[in-house]
Amino acid sequence: MDMKRIVIYSILLAAALGLATLGFTSFGVEGLLIPMGITFAYFTGIFIVATLIKNNSIVDIGWGMGFVIGAWASLLATSSPTWISYLMVGFITVWGVRLSARLFQRNVGKPEDFRYAQWRKEWGNNDVITAFFRVFMIQGLINFVVGSAAYTMIKFNTGSFNAIQWILIGLGLGLALIGLGFEVIGDEQLRQHIAKKTRKLLQSGLWSITRHPNYFGEILIWNGLYISGLSLIVDGSVPWVYYLVLILSPLVMSLVLIKISTPLLEKNMEKYEGWNEYTKRVPMIFPFTKAK
């Protein structure tokens, strides 16, 4: 593994530990160590199954459920959960189960995704141990970091809010709901388009204002959940410095989608007729911005 990757992974691991221990101040159940540990255990389980069936791409199917498990672990580790805790867990459950179910339906019975198959060839005889760290543990790490802001809201909200907190919660959850709408509607439009078997690019509906409405929706969701959690600073439920560090939650998700997932997907989309014209007309992620 190259030094640059080692440094990035080390920083990400340190950040995750810092988030799980409330800034390295609490190493018991008071923080987020339980959801973090359960998240890693979950992705280890996926690794075992993937190794047995020789298909590492099943980690994509398990991605959404990772947040569901983390959210429920946070709820069960909360001594006095409030109605907002249950609301947050319910939202994440609906989102995560829908995402994993959709990917399962789309990929079940198909061979390993081309990206993972290519990595398997590149890693040669070390493919199993390399995949454990570079695929499953890294995804587990990112999964926890992204979910940490929501888990913090689940665990530490008081359930009693003033006007400013209500505005933050309403704004955040409103953005998250809009994001969920983009994902659900975008996926349904894509499903109907694929069912027509035209093998042409989908360029109507939400796909006429963004090339990746599902990714845009996911960015909205995690930014929205983070914004709703700003209410914790108002009443001192968590230190403001700690919550500022939690900006890693939406930031990491946004960077992964924009810098990694989207370029990989778009590379595979170049084979479709009209792709170049489509990219010049429709923005990559954010609707109504300049296409590039």
How do the domains of the chain map onto residue ranges? Answer: 1-160, 164-292
Q: How confident is the model at residue 173 (pLDDT cuts 50, 70, 90)?
A: very high
Which long-range contacts does 235-239 make (Cβ < 8 Å, 24+ apart)?
Answer: 235/158, 235/161, 235/162, 235/165, 237/156, 237/157, 237/158, 238/22, 238/152, 238/156, 239/23
Considering only the C-alpha atoms of the chain, give the largest distance between any 2 of them, rounded to a whole number of Å.
59
**Average pLDDT score over residue span 212-224:** 97
Question: 85: helix, coil or strand?
Answer: helix
Does residue 213 surpass a pLDDT of 70?
yes
- Average pLDDT of span 139-148: 96
Band of the pLDDT at 291, cuts 50, 70, 90? confident
Q: How confident is the model at residue 26 (pLDDT cuts 50, 70, 90)?
A: confident
Q: How confident is the model at residue 60 (pLDDT cuts 50, 70, 90)?
A: very high
Confidence of residue 33 (pLDDT cuts 50, 70, 90): very high
pLDDT band of residue 272 (cuts 50, 70, 90) is confident
Mean pLDDT value across the chain: 93
Half-sphere exposure of 178 (CA within 13 A, CB side): 11
CB 146 within 8 A of CB 71: no
More confident residue, 200 or 189: 189
Residue of 242, 31, 38 whose CA lies nearest to 154: 31
Query: In the prediction, which pLDDT does 115 show?
Result: 84
Q: Is the pLDDT of residue 141 over 80?
A: yes
Can you tell me the mean pLDDT for 18-41?
A: 92
AA letter at 263:
P
| Cα–Cα distance, 211 to 152 (Å, whole number) | 32
41 has a pLDDT exceeding 90: yes
Rg of the chain (C-alpha set): 20
Distances (CA, A) of 11 to 5, 124, 209, 222: 10, 27, 36, 21
Across residues 40-64, what is the average pLDDT?
Answer: 96
Predicted model pTM: 0.92
Q: Does residue 1 register a pLDDT over 70?
A: no
Residue 114 DSSP class: H
In the chain, % of residues over pLDDT 90: 75
Q: Is the pLDDT reported for residue 49 higher than 70?
A: yes
pLDDT tens across 229-258, in order? Answer: 999 999 898 998 999 999 999 999 999 999
Q: Which of 219, 145, 151, 156 is nearest to 182 (CA)?
A: 219
Is residue 100 pLDDT above 90, yes or no?
yes
| Confidence check: pLDDT of 217 > 90 | yes
